[in-house]
Structure 1
Amino acid sequence: MDATSEVYSGSRKLHEEETAEIPETAHQISTDSWFQVGFVLTTGINSAYVLGYSGNVMIPLGWIGGVIGLILATAISLYANALIAKLHEYGGVRHIRYRDLAGFIYGKKAYSLTWGLQYVNLFMINTGFIILAGQALKAAYVLFKDDHAMKLPHFIAISGVVCAIFAIGIPHLSALRIWLGFSTVFSLIYIVIAFVLSLQDGLEAPARSYDIPGTKISRIFTTIGAAASLVFAFNTGMLPEIQATVRKPVVENMMKALYFQFTAGVVPLYAVCFVGYWAYGNKTSSYLLNNVNGPIWVKAMANIAAFLQTVIALHIFASPMYEYLDTKFGIKGSPLKIQNLTFRITVRGGYLAINTLVSALLPFLGDFMSLTGAISTFPLTFILANHMYLVAKKDTLTSAQKLWHWLNVGFFALLAVAALISALRLIAVDSKTYHVFADL
């Protein structure tokens, strides 16, 4: 390409960005730097869910499967997210919601289906976050007073109230700003403490088993469930909503944020996941801080940090629902207006109350990770991403590229069905072991 062509291409690209139609929304658009968006994405990866991967991923897969699985999940997730990011400005429209992009490409039915899948995904993620927050609070409580007077459902209820208060105070995703800094500090606290104490325990512990537990049949199901948990670890299911907040040039800045997420974000995840499994083998808990030995105040600090970070992370995954409701009911202007405050208290409080009730009823954290991956993360992040890119770019793709995307669609569709069966089986097994409002 000669210099004249490059100038023309750059000018055309800038013109397209400036003239791209932006759908109406009550939340802020194009206000955040790629760095801030990168921290939003990293907050999702290094949430307190990271404390469960040693038990929920490594135990079913073992060393070879776990290491290879995490590396593959990282690479595949970056690739799939990049496909979605590149479609953000397509057809002269800026697609600030996942359902908008699907509807633009496929039509009204796909719009509704994608919306349903996404909100099931986000609801279940939020439910898992509230369970995590409750577990962290309970773990801190029993360090000082293990009298069984307070049970997990009580701590889940407290967590739901705190999450609702935070949701009322933060009007939209871009308003997190300084809270992302706090989130990073909280993440480092529990990740570093879990890493150091696990390392210490591993050096002092006798030989432990890394054999994958269970019968041959049960191993097949747990392996598939672990695969669903792997893709859940790196994907939000709401990339267009996050990308909507980034400044222009939108695609370039989003790619920077994604590279930041998949470099700075995955290192702590790998570290705590591998060291936790190495230290405790197939006895690793689904909440790693329940395994570690160390000073009470250190463990309490880690658990409180996990609780606080979870409150912030949940707000990210709840923001598409908040955006939909705020836009539908025309909630604009100052967040401190009585009308706006009343709306957030009523609507967001009600939404999180339902989340909290479900969390207390079914506090099986590993099951949520597997089921969420099966029902919605696979379809949204891998199946739709490849097929939408295939449809949108069909005139520019070679036959080999088209075949590649079709292979991805077929493979992840089969994996999603297998993961759904595995997750439902896991829930059925746990339902026999635990009861509703269980004190795990």
Structure 2
Amino acid sequence: MSATGAKNRTSNVNGAEHFDIEVPDTAHQISSDSWFQVAFVLTTGINNAYVLGYSGTVMVPLGWVGGVIGLILASAISLYANILVAKLHEFGGKRHIRYRDLAGFIYGRKAYCVTWGLQYVNLFMINCGFIILAGSALKAVYVLFRDDHTMKLPYFIAIAGFVCAVFAIGVPHLSALGIWLGVSTILSLIYIIVAMVLSVKDGVKTPHSRDYEIQGSSISKLFTITAAAANLFFVFNTGMLPEIQATVKQPVVKNMVKALYFQFTLGLLPMYAVMFIGYWAYGSSTSTYLLNNVNGPVWVKALANISAFLQTVICLHIFASPSYEYMDTKFGIKGGTFVLKNLLFRIMARGGYLAVSTLLSALLPFLGDFMSLTGAVSTIPLTFILANHMYYKAKNDKLNTMQKLWHWLNVVFFSLMSVAATIAALRLIVVDSKNFHVFADL
């Protein structure tokens, strides 16, 4: 069943009016997963193959001081913002299983649509980045054995998109990942450990040849630092916390907070380690894909790249699941995974979605730019601006003056940061577009 629009009435919660937006029942499973499985969904999302790029896209533009302090602050702010959203999951006596449902209940129909648009753009761009990453990993394996330039990056991106589509067709919903989350964890550990060990080996061999200075002119530094700030928040991005929380068993708020604490403690350690070690080893020459820097046995590097490719396929499915849920719910796709009707629908709907994603990824394969623009135009508004303002509006009568001021300061600060980071990210894209043609072989 699909949404039929807004009702013409409001409800009163905590002394404030809230909107009763008609929302569809989901075709996917809810309340079926333990907090530990949800914690692994979150940890899989944060330790995906993007971590191989953070040394180059975060640490290089910010340096040691800015990078370390920025990451610690971004971690704390992100945990705080996610907990705010998690605490609103059952707000007003209703369970809000989608981000847009929650925004619609608090603000009304227009906010419902705007939030869905922002979230869709956010997740679509993240998935384009995943496809670029998967294609880059495949190309890296090819170059290890045959560096003849016959196969270009766009070809590998096309292969990656096809594999992602096959996986999406076979795994119906987020809860069905099950054992794949364990596989994803093993794959993550493989490429993270290989990247760290080989980086340390290279760093020890060349202790005096590293430069940690932030490169470029004063104006260039200003734009790159601003864009890197957006990357900082992209690192911790989910943009779909209510959708993930919908899968957790009761008590949903308590269990989700436990999962978040796991993600932002043990879950962060591998990412921090590979990011700092990579930057320590190569300094300002660190690439946006760390495995392109490291030296070591061919088979070890091939194993790491294949692991990064396979983990990316699994992780993309997590960030695409809200779009899949929307399509399945709208057209009433329920029941067995391999029922002919369901299978044909997923082939067309999910295959079409990933075909468009793959085409755009091959057309503009600038991974760092995707991260910056995504962080600026959708991650910051969804994860920080909206989270703080929704909590302020929902809990208004329970907050003291200082708490209200704190939430408003967050809204204003992150609004300004979003605007500045968007300008910086667009400048990066313009510069890269001048340096590289479409379907570039990077």
Give the conservation status (yes or no) of the 8 Å contact 2:224–2:424: yes
Which residue pairs with 2:30 in the alignment? 29
The Cα shift of 1:207 comes to: 2.4
Contact 1:22/1:95, CA 8 A, preserved across alignment:
no
User: What residue in structure 1 maps to residue 236 of structure 2?
Assistant: 234
**Aligned residue in 2 for 1:8:** none
Contact 1:228–1:374 at 8 Å: present in 2 too?
yes
Q: CA deviation at 1:265?
A: 1.4
- Give the match's secondary structure for 1:25: coil
Deviations 1:37-74 (A, max 9, x none): 00000011000000000000001100000000111111
Aligned-pair CA distance for 1:334: 1.0
Trace 1:188-203 onto structure 2 (pairs within 5 A). 188-203=189-204
**1:252: Cα distance to partner?**
0.2
Q: Contact 2:23/2:101 (CA < 8 Å) preserved in 1?
A: no
Provide the rounded CA distance (Å) in 2 between the counterparts of 1:403 and 1:201.
49
1:423 to 425, 431, 441: 425
TM-score by length of 1: 0.95
Distance in 2 separating the partners of 1:198 and 1:300: 15
Aligned length: 420
Q: Over aligned residues, Cα RMSD in angstroms?
A: 0.9
Deviations 1:382-409 (A, max 9, x none): 0000000000000000000000000000
Amino acid at match of 2:172: P
Letter in 2 for 1:40: V
TM (norm. structure 2) is: 0.94
Matches within 5 A, 1:60-99: 60-99=61-100
Query: Corresponding residue for 1:365?
Result: 367
Aligned: 1:157 with 2:144:
no
Match of 1:344 among 340, 343, 346: 346
One-letter amino acid of the counterpart of residue 212, structure 1? I
| Separation (CA, whole Å) in 1 of partners of 2:239 and 2:114 | 14
CA contact under 8 A between 2:103 and 2:112: conserved in structure 1? yes
Shift of 1:23: 5.2
Structure 1 residue 181, shift from structure 2 partner = 0.3
Code of the aligned partner of 1:169: G
Alignment partners' CA distance in 2, 1:84 and 1:195: 34
**Which amino acid letter does the alignment assign opposite residue 114 of structure 1?**
T
Match of 1:16 in 2: none
* 1:244 and 2:246 matched: yes
Q: Indicate the percent of aligned positions where both proteins have the same amino acid.
A: 76
Distance in 2 (alpha carbons) for counterparts of 1:120 and 1:235: 13
DSSP-derived class of the 1:347 partner:
helix
Structure 2 CA distance, aligned partners of 1:296 and 1:336?
39
In structure 2, the partner of 1:166 is: 167
* Letter of the structure 2 residue corresponding to residue 318 of structure 1: A
Distance in 1, matches of 2:406 and 2:150, equals 57
Tell me the secondary structure at the aligned position of residue 440 of structure 2.
coil
The aligned runs of 1:40-79 (5 Å cut-off) are: 40-79=41-80
Offset at 1:333? 1.1
Instruction: Describe the SS at the equivalent of 1:265.
Output: helix
Moved over 6 A (4+): none
Unaligned runs of 5+ in 2: 1-21
2:277 is paired with a residue whose SS is: helix
For residues 110-129 of structure 1, the aligned pairs below 5 Å read 110-129=111-130
Tell me the residue number matched to 1:383: 385
Instruction: Decide whether the 8 Å contact of 1:22 with 1:96 is kept in 2.
Output: no
Structure 1 residue 437: deviation in Å? 0.3
The SS at the match of 2:397 is: coil
1: CA distance, partners of 2:128 / 2:154: 13
Match of 2:101? 100
The one of 301, 304, 310 aligned to 2:303: 301
Label 1:211 to 1:76 Cα distance change in 2 as closer, same or farther (>3 A). Answer: same
Whether the aligned pair in 2 keeps the contact of 1:23 and 1:95 (CA below 8 Å) is no
Q: What is the DSSP-based 3-state SS (H/G/I as helix, E as strand, rest coil) of the residue aligned with 2:288?
A: coil
CA distance in 2, matches of 1:265, 1:419: 27
2:215 matched residue in structure 1: 213
Structure 2 CA distance for partners of 1:358 and 1:22, relative to 1, 3 Å? closer
Kept in 2: contact 1:23–1:96 (CA 8 A)? no
1:351 Cα shift? 0.4
Partner of 1:4: none
